[in-house]
Amino acid sequence: MYNLVEVEKLGKPAVALCNVGFAADARSAAMVKGYPALRVVLERVPCEATDGESIERGVVEAIGEVIRALTVPLQEEEWEEAVGRMAAWRPGEARGVVYRGNYEEVNRYFYRMGWTDGLPIVPPTPRAVEEMLRGTDLEPDHVVAHLPPRMGKATVEKIAVNAVMAGALPTHLPVIIAAVEALVDPSAWYGTYQVSTGSWAPFVVVNGPVRRDVGLNCSSGALSPGNMANAAIGRAIRLVDRNIGGVRPGIEDMGVFGNPGKYTLVLGENEEESPWEPLHVEQGFGREESAVSVFFPNTYVQAVAMGTDPESLVLTLARNVPAGKRNALTAILMIPDHARILAQAGWSKQEVVRRVVEVARIPRYRSPYMPPERAEGLSPRELPQREEDWMPAWTDPAQIRLVVTGGPGSFMALWISSGLMPARWVTKRVRLPKAWGRLVVRYRGIVPRHTG
């Protein structure tokens, strides 16, 4: 849509021939760019149809409207309706208290406004937000970023409001702010992944001393519910995405199935039990710094190791890449026991990744998303029999990062993104307030005992 807006800006008529399921998304995109009346003609061709009959039927039905959209001048009522729609949609910055009520009433109000993730929130009272702001030395009106698609202004205060709602502690705030900075780095391709049909979720790895300061789970069940830091930091990121970026499910966020990782997908690297340098050091930061790394996967694969010798561990990872994933940004999650076995073989993190890349193959099935082999692909009706019918799953080891985390057991795991975007892992430093030590002491005792 943005490219069609560019056509209008150049003074030429543009028409979006739009799949009917994407009508609200298309209109939202046009409004973001200030062209609410950009003409959208709806067609009913099934998404990514491969049969000529449905394409023929859909286009023939729509062509009259396309011609009309290019030839009939903008009507007064059409313009008024478009401007009204934009005015109704555009949220002003609500300052001060916006609602008064008891716990239940506040939650129902926020839920009806679409400001939650479906679960009850902690009411963001001025006092709670003030306490949250102790987690940073940045001024409350400091603008951390403008978040797409609505280009909402992510001030420190607005991030803090969403952090309170998520149930975060003030010690979590600097991690959340760093994550927001990582999201908007152009290399992350946040603006595309947050709205895509692919249901990509921000995967957040926290490194450095801050992990232990805030009680992040870096070991057994790091991605499971039950730990406040892992749960609340990711939840806050999602609420920021919704309330500041303006991403609404089924309107801007067109994820086909959605992704439970959008509730939270945050873990720490188990640096203490890893034989290798941590992720943030690989990304150019000092070991004593704290940092947040982000990318957008939509696929999670877990597999039991085929054996505990180094070759079997590499083969387990290489043989469990889904056939539809090609050159995708990836996180390998590895338990400390497996990492030690590989390190004892003399392999660095990078050497392990290089060996996985060397071995991993996927079928050269015909797929529109597997350039440049798309034209010569095999039919997925057949299992490939010949060596040349397989192709490397990755061509560049830089697309993969290995993170040591998780607990006892024998499972290996892959979080896999897409090869369609030129995205990269993005890492940002966590900036702690001067009074960090006191803040940590104040909140460190809030940990689950799991005695019940």
Partner 1 sequence: MYEVLSPVGKTELPQPQPIAPRLGSLEGRVIGLFVNSKPVAPVLLERVEELLRDRVGARTERFRHPHNRELLGEELLAFRRWVAEVDAVVGAVGD
Choose one: 34-42, 207-215, 262-270, 339-347; the region binding partner 1 (CB under 8 A): 34-42
Contact 184, 147 (CB under 8 A): yes
Stretch that binds partner 1, among 61-69, 199-207, 339-347, 378-386 (CB under 8 A): 61-69
**Considering beta carbons, is residue 58 or 310 the nearer one to partner 1?**
58
**x/- map, 410-449, partner 1, by CB under 8 A:** ----------xx----------------------------
Cα–Cα distance, 132 to 116 (Å, whole number): 18
Residue (192 or 320) nearer to partner 1, CB: 192
Query: In this complex, which beta carbon is closest to partner 1, that of residue 323 or of residue 345?
Result: 323
Residues 86-125, one symbol each (x = binds partner 1 by CB under 8 A, - = not), give x---xxxxxxxxxxxxxx--x---x----x-------xxx
**Candidates 79-87, 285-293, 311-319, 332-340; binding stretch for partner 1 (CB under 8 A):** 79-87
- Smallest separation, CB 146 to partner 1 (Å): 8
Using rule CB under 8 A, residue 408 touches partner 1: no
Count of residues of this chain found to bind partner 1 when the rule CB under 8 A is applied: 102
Joined together, the tokens standing for residue 112 give 């009806």
Q: Which is closer to partner 1, CB of 213 or CB of 241? A: 241
55 binds partner 1 (CB under 8 A): yes
CB of residue 186 to partner 1, shortest distance in Å: 9
Task: Select the residue interacting with partner 1 from 88, 135, 154, 295 (CB under 8 A).
Answer: 154
Query: Residue 14 CB, nearest distance to partner 1 (Å)?
Result: 5
Told to check if 40 binds partner 1 by CB under 8 A, we report yes
Instruction: Between 70 and 398, name the residue whose CB sits nearer to partner 1.
Output: 70
Q: Which is nearer to partner 1, 147 or 328 (CB)?
A: 147
> Minimum distance from CB of 73 to partner 1 (Å)?
5
Interface with partner 1 (CB under 8 A), residue from 15, 214, 339, 370: 15
452, burial (CB in 10 Å: exposed 0-12, middle 13-18, buried 19+)? exposed
Report 201-240 residues binding partner 1 (CB under 8 A): 239
**Distance from C-alpha of 217 to C-alpha of 133, rounded to nearest angstrom:** 24
Contact 199/163 with Cβ under 8 angstroms?
Answer: no
Q: Are 206 and 175 in contact (CB under 8 A)?
A: yes
User: Is residue 108 helix, strand or coil?
Assistant: helix
Contacting residue, 133, 147, 201, 233, with partner 1 by CB under 8 A: 147
Nearer to partner 1, 126 or 226 (CB): 126
User: Given the complex with partner 1, which of 4 and 294 has the nearer CB atom?
Assistant: 4
Show the CA angle centred on residue 385, arms to residues 381 and 390, nearest 5°: 90
| Lookup: tokens for 255 | 């994820």
- Best CA proximity match to 292, nearest among 136, 187, 428: 428
Region of 67-75, 168-176, 206-214, 259-267 interacting with partner 1 (CB under 8 A): 67-75
Site membership for partner 1, residue 187 (CB under 8 A)? no
> Closest CB to partner 1 among 217 and 264?
264
Task: Provide the pairing of β-strand 203-207 with 291-295.
Answer: antiparallel
Torsion of CA 22, 26, 27, 29, to 10 degrees: 140
Q: Is 188 in the site for partner 1 (CB under 8 A)?
A: no
Q: What is the footprint of partner 1 within residues 341-370 (CB under 8 A)?
A: 368-369
Residue pointed to by tokens 């309107």: 251
Q: 3-class SS at 378?
A: strand
* DSSP 8-state code for residue 23: H
Phi, psi of 238 (to 5 degrees): -65, -40
> In the range 308-327, which residues lie near partner 1 by CB under 8 A?
none
Which residue's CB is nearer to partner 1, number 164 or number 331?
164
Residue type, 343: A
User: Does 258 participate in binding partner 1 (rule CB under 8 A)?
Assistant: no
Q: Between β-strands 266-268 and 203-207, what pairing exists: parallel, antiparallel or unpaired? A: parallel
DSSP state at residue 111: H
> Judged by CB under 8 A, does residue 126 bind partner 1?
yes
C-alpha 156/C-alpha 291 separation (Å) is 18
Q: Per-residue DSSP letters for 386-421? A: SGGGEEES-S-GGGEEEEE---SSSEEEEEE--SSS
Closest alpha carbon to 24 in 252, 247, 191: 252
User: 39 by DSSP, 3-state: which?
Assistant: strand
Is 3 one of the binding residues for partner 1 (CB under 8 A)? yes
Query: Which of the stretches 26-34, 353-361, 395-403, 411-419 binds partner 1 when contact is defined by CB under 8 A?
Result: 26-34
Rounded Cα distance between 261 and 204, Å, is 10
